[in-house]
Amino acid sequence: MNILLIITNRYRGPIPVIPLGACLVAESCERAGHHVQILDLMFERDPLRALGSVIDKIKPDVVGISLRNIDNNDMQHPVAFYKDLTSLMETVRGKTDATVVLGGAAVGVMPEALIRFTEADWAVLGDGEIVFPKVLDMLSKNMMPKDIAGVAWIEETGFRINTGFVDRFSGNGLVPDFSRWINLPAYLSRFSPVPIQTKLGCHFKCVYCTYRKIEGQDYRLCDPQMIGEVIIDLEKRGLRDVEFVDNVFNSPYDHAIALCDAIAKVRANVRLQTVELNPYFVDDNLIGAMEQAGFVGIGITVESAADPVLDRLKKGYTARDVFKSSEVIQRHRIPCLWVFMFGGPGETEETVLETLRFAEKSIGQRDVALFMIGIRIYPGTELENIARIEGVLTPPAHEMLEPVFYLSPSINKEWLLKKVHNSMATHMNFINPNAISLPFLPAINFVGYRLGVRPPLWKNTRYIRRGLKWLGMDL
């Protein structure tokens, strides 16, 4: 069968994300005997024209549409990416009678709403590189893939879904040959690291998070020894900037240590990153192992430094753990991006001030703090229930494709914005989502790359902000 996979993500802030999942799916479909063509819309000047041209060329039997994000998760400047699917689907349906299958992380979050919005024939949830070839096998036999785990669809009686996850790491490679499928140099020239995922599943119960829905709650882990081999292979290909995109890199703790040890043993000349550390598992042993492995940037998603908020968010750690992790970070040399999320359940003026005091006193000048305002509410999360009970959410679940956000009723939005702005005014290493959505940020990335600046780019935040302030363009 002729398969067209469309990567719809065109969002480049703060850096374009290399489409790991779609490329893994392409390779798995090719191994299954299909002819596969990827159309990556990231750098297309005229996406619809490019789409029409490739459909005319390959005449696909099946069109797979990959949607990474529903929106940008920014309460201040919300952008709904799913709306781009309207014109895309019109082009597809106008050009071909091919079966349309949705996939990508966004589909795992809101499958029914996205199927109804696009009128797609099928949706693949979870492990696309495993599930999609099975779907193609059924379609090639003119059979309905209704019995396959990880498939959703809509029929006359309503929405149907078969849940289930498989062992993704049982055989196939962790990193596809990106250069075969996408314009890899275009990504690399904008500081995009090569993504690697070493585990799936999440044991944590954060009230706002969708990871458990997308990946399941049970851990599925790759063999740490595979990572050393992958890193060596990437180095041979000249790909030296790598990001681990696991939902929480340092959980399970022993798995993270084993990964670092395996990488350290191969002594590869690579620059590693991850922005998903849980402060509860941050200690000198872990950060030391990450230094030995070659990490040049890490991120800790603490959300808050106040116990009332952490408790209501069900983060599974305390403010004491947050302070402890800061002390550990300061004893080591890896720069750290701290991510905070203001306005969650339990947030008050006092908890906001408590978190800001932590950031101002405990985050060093070499590190960066990112302040998010409000929390995107997704259907099926505990946060949705909290929001409905408190009366801050009224749209039904099927209308929540349009971005809706939670902000604690105890917080005045303007007061919060002012406090965060004041803290940023005196700390050039503090940023808000405006920094991510700067229209000229891709140009800064490109120039920095040409000048030989080494990732992660965010470590240069204070210099970039000072430059913007000098130009009268500060955040």
Per-residue pLDDT tens digits for 319-373:
999 999 999 999 999 999 999 999 999 999 999 999 999 999 999 989 999 999 9
Name the residue type at position 112. Answer: E
Q: Which of these CATH numbers, 3.40.50.280, 3.30.67.10, 3.40.50.12780, 3.20.20.210, describes 2-162?
A: 3.40.50.280
pLDDT number for residue 443: 72
Single-letter amino acid, residue 75: M
Spans of all domains in the chain: 2-162, 193-373+407-422
pLDDT at residue number 419: 97
Question: What is the pLDDT at residue 318?
Answer: 97
Average pLDDT for the chain: 92
pTM of the model: 0.93
Q: Which two tokens stand for residue 3?
A: 């398969």
Q: How many CB atoms lie within 10 A of CB 307?
A: 17
Here the contacts of 415-421 (C-beta below 8 Å, separation 24 or greater) are: 415/349, 416/342, 416/343, 416/352, 416/373, 417/373, 419/352, 419/353, 419/356, 420/342, 420/356, 420/371, 420/373
For residue 172, pLDDT over 60 is answered with no
Give the total residue count for the chain: 475
- Look at residue 315 in the predicted model and tell me its pLDDT: 96
Q: What is the pLDDT of residues 395-412, one digit of tens each?
A: 888 889 999 999 999 999
- Per-residue pLDDT at 252: 95
Tens digit of each residue's pLDDT (9 = 90 or more) over 421-450: 999 999 999 999 877 766 667 777 777 777
168, pLDDT greater than 70: no
Supply 374's token pair: 């409000």
- pLDDT tens-digit map of 120-160: 999 999 889 999 999 999 999 999 999 999 999 999 999 99
Question: Residue 182 pLDDT > 90, yes or no?
Answer: yes
| Element of type H or E holding 40 | strand 35-40
- Encode pLDDT of 66-122 as tens digits: 999 999 999 988 999 999 999 999 999 999 999 999 999 999 999 999 999 999 999
CB-CB contact of 398 with 462 (8 Å): no
pLDDT digits (tens, 9 = 90+) for 196-206: 999 988 889 99
Higher pLDDT: 91 or 167? It is 91
Average pLDDT over residues 256-281: 95
In this model, does residue 463 exceed pLDDT 90? no
List Cα–Cα distances, 451 to 295, 454, 455, in angstroms: 22, 9, 12
Residue 270's nearest CA partner among 248, 246, 292, 301 is 292
Q: Mean per-residue pLDDT for 30-34?
A: 96
pLDDT of residue 12: 84
Position 171 pLDDT exceeds 60: no
Residue type, 387: A
SS3 340: strand
**What pLDDT does 469 receive?**
80
What CATH topology corresponds to 193-373+407-422?
Answer: pyruvate-formate lyase- activating enzyme (3.80.30)
pLDDT(33) > 70: yes
For 209-244, the pLDDT digits (tens) are: 988 888 888 888 999 989 999 999 999 999 999 999
Residue 170 pLDDT more than 60?
no
User: How many Cβ atoms from other residues are within 10 Å of residue 12's Cβ?
Assistant: 18
Helix (H) / strand (E) element for 353: namely helix 349-362
- Binned at pLDDT 50, 70 and 90, residue 472 comes out as confident
What pLDDT score was predicted for residue 369?
97
On the question of pLDDT at 169 being above 70, the answer is: no
pLDDT band, residue 462 (cuts 50/70/90): confident
Asked which of 241-245, 284-288, 386-390, 467-471 is least confident by mean pLDDT, the reply is 467-471
* Between 15 and 284, the higher pLDDT residue: 284
Element (H, E) at 357: helix 349-362
- Note the helical H segments in 203-252: 211-215, 224-236
- DSSP assignment of 117-130, as one string? HHT-SEEE-S-HHH
Task: Work out whether strand 220-221 and strand 199-200 pair parallel, antiparallel, or are unpaired.
Answer: antiparallel
The whole-number pLDDT of residue 135 equals 97
The residues facing 80 across adjacent strands are 71
What are 201's two structure tokens?
Answer: 């599943």
